[in-house]
Amino acid sequence: MPQLTPSQARVVNPVLSSIAQGIQQNDLVGNYLFPAVDVPLRGGQILTFGREAFMQYSNLNRAPGTSTPRVQFGYSGSTYALVDYSIEGKVPVEIEQEAMNSSFSLDHAAVALNGASRILQLRLEIAQATLATTLSNHASSNRTTLSGTAQWSDFGTTSNPLSDIETGKEAIRAGTGRRPNVGVMGPAVWAKLKYHPIVKDYTKYTGREVATLDILSALTGIPNWYIGDAVSSNDAGTTLSDVWGKDVVLAYSELGSVANYGAPTFGYTYNLAGYPLAEEPYQDRNHKSQFFPVTRAEAPVIAGQLAGYLIKSCVA
């Protein structure tokens, strides 16, 4: 039997994997709340955060020869388990033949790889949104549900979005010592919020007719606001819905890595190092098609519950 060449023996295609790792959808915002952190194993401990940095120890004054107080920032909480998600992009041989005999050039391999990667990215966005907008995932002090005339779609005197946001900011500050630096909202929320009378009253001094996210940042003191424009469909493709619904999530989120163990960041997306990856494409003679497999191994987790605040049902 002839010896396999390195390309024949290779299961993972490093070039295609680098492409898959670089593909990002512009309308996805989940990683602003759950920044990606590479981990070496599919299972481990979630690095959660306590209040060690805020405690004042009674014996900080040290006499000669006595012991020195010790503190450890960050600790391992509950376990996480990464899940593998895979999908294959398909290119029928007939499509390849048409492409080779046409003056119009289209890289069908790239189309298949991009399409498969975007599907897996949307799956992660849905998981992140579900985690962030579920009431039970937030402490009782860090969540509220609006209804009736208190909703931001009601332009009466009872509704006050800036006051609701300020309440969320103070809850995060009281629980972590940090003010939120990220706000994420569903598109239905922004469609009403930018026209709310209280917001418009401030906006008129800027020379703008309608509020922008920059104006919202100035009004709320939260520097980074994002609209979760992603939509998802059922498997039949017959219905579409907003991934981020009608909610607002405020959070203090470390946008770097997990290296700063003392930071009470809201969440992380644990990602298996080296992923996402693309395997070597293969030919299926029965389907007369070439397949491009893409795999991700990840799990979004909440690391600091008090670093987030959920405003549920902001609009009707």
Listed in sequence order, the residues at least 6 apart from 25 whose beta carbon sits closer than 8 Å to its beta carbon are 118, 121, 122, 125, 230
User: What is the structure's pLDDT at 25?
Assistant: 52
Nearest of 145, 202, 150, 152 to residue 168 by alpha carbon:
145
For residue 191, what is the enclosing H or E element?
Answer: helix 187-193
- The answer to whether residues 228 and 235 touch, using CB atoms and an 8 Å cutoff, is no
C-beta neighbour count of 229 within 10 angstroms: 16
pLDDT in tens, the chain (316 residues): 444 444 433 445 554 455 445 545 558 999 999 999 888 889 888 777 666 555 566 667 777 877 777 766 656 667 889 999 999 988 888 766 666 655 444 477 788 888 888 999 999 999 999 999 999 999 999 999 999 999 999 999 999 999 999 999 999 999 988 999 999 999 999 999 999 999 999 998 888 889 999 999 999 999 999 999 999 988 777 788 999 999 999 999 986 555 554 467 899 999 999 999 888 888 988 888 989 899 999 999 998 899 999 999 999 9
User: What's the DSSP call for residue 281?
Assistant: P
Task: Return the DSSP state at 151.
Answer: S
Among 218, 196, 212, smallest CA distance to 151 is for 196
Task: Give the tokens for residue 91.
Answer: 């290119």
What are the distances in angstroms from CA 238 to CA 117, 186, 243, 252? 22, 21, 16, 37
Which string of DSSP letters, residue by residue, matches 206-260? Answer: GT-SS--HHHHHHHHS-SEEEE---EEE-TTS--EEETTTT-EEEE---SS-TT-
For the chain, the domains span 12-50+82-312
pTM of the model: 0.82
Write out the H or E segment, with its range, that includes residue 164. helix 161-176
* Residue 27, pLDDT score: 81
DSSP letter for 133, please.
T
Looking at this protein, which amino acid is placed at residue 189? V
Among left, alpha and beta (phi > 0; psi -120 to 50; other), residue 237 is left
Residue 114: its pLDDT value, please?
85
SS3 breakdown of the chain: % helix, strand, coil, rounded to 5?
A: 35, 25, 40
Measured on CA atoms in the order 187, 168, 210, 255, is the torsion positive or negative?
negative
At a CB cut-off of 8 Å and minimum separation 6, what does 225 contact? 182, 183, 184, 185, 213, 216, 217
Q: Which residue has the tokens 């805020």?
A: 54
Question: Which candidate, 245, 290, 266, 232, places its Cα nearest to that of 99?
Answer: 290
Q: Which CATH number fits domain 12-50+82-312: 3.30.300.30, 3.50.50.60, 3.90.1690.10, 1.10.3450.40?
A: 3.90.1690.10
CA 36 to CA 59: how far, in whole Å?
Answer: 39
